[in-house]
Amino acid sequence: MANFSPEPTIETDVLREAVRIDGKPCILEARQIKKTPATIEVSSSSGNTTKTRELAEWMLFIDLNLLPFYHMAKGHKILGLIAKELYGVRALRTASLFEMMVIAITEQQISLTAAYRIRDRVVQRFGEKIDGLSVFPTTESLSKASERELRSCGLSKRKAEYIRGTAQQVSDGSLDVDKLATLSDDDFRETLIKIRGFGPWSANYILVRGLGRVDCVPTDDLAVRSIVGKYLGDGKRMSEAQVLNAIEPFAPFRGLAVFYLLAHDRLSI
DNA sequence: TACCAGGTAAAAA
DNA sequence: TTTTTACATGGT
Looking at residue A269, its pLDDT comes to 60
- Helix, strand, coil fractions of chain A, as percent rounded to 5: 50, 10, 40
Nucleotide nearest to A115 (CA to C1'): C9
Percent of chain A at pLDDT exceeding 70: 95
**Rounded CA gap, A203 and A217, in Å?**
9
Which protein residues have any CB–strand C distance under 7 A? Answer: A 109-111, 113-114, 117-118, 151, 154-159
Nucleotide nearest to A111 (CA to C1'): B5
Looking at residue A10, its pLDDT comes to 39
pLDDT in tens, A234-258: 999 999 999 999 999 999 999 999 9
Pairwise pLDDT comparison (A5 vs A122), residue with the higher score: A122
pLDDT in tens, A1-17: 333 333 443 345 789 99
User: What's the rounded mean pLDDT across residues A14-41?
Assistant: 94
Looking at residue A58, its pLDDT comes to 97
- Does nucleic acid strand B have an atom less than 7 angstroms from the CB of A226? yes
Nucleotide nearest to A227 (CA to C1'): B6
* Measured CA A222 to C1' C10 distance, in angstroms: 17
- Does nucleic acid strand B have an atom less than 7 angstroms from the CB of A250? no
Under DSSP, is residue A156 helix (H, G, I), strand (E, B) or coil? Answer: coil
- Does nucleic acid strand B have an atom less than 7 angstroms from the CB of A110? yes
Q: Which bases along strand C come within 7 Å of a protein CB atom? A: 7-11
pTM, two decimals, is: 0.95
Look at residues A192, A100, A202, A116 and name the one whose alpha carbon lies nearest to residue A154.
A116
Averaged pLDDT score across all residues of chain A = 94
Q: Say if residue A134's pLDDT is above 90.
A: yes
Peptide bond into A6 cis (omega under 30): yes
Taking C1' of C9 and every protein CA, the nearest residue is: A114
Q: Which bases along strand B come within 7 Å of a protein CB atom? A: 4-10
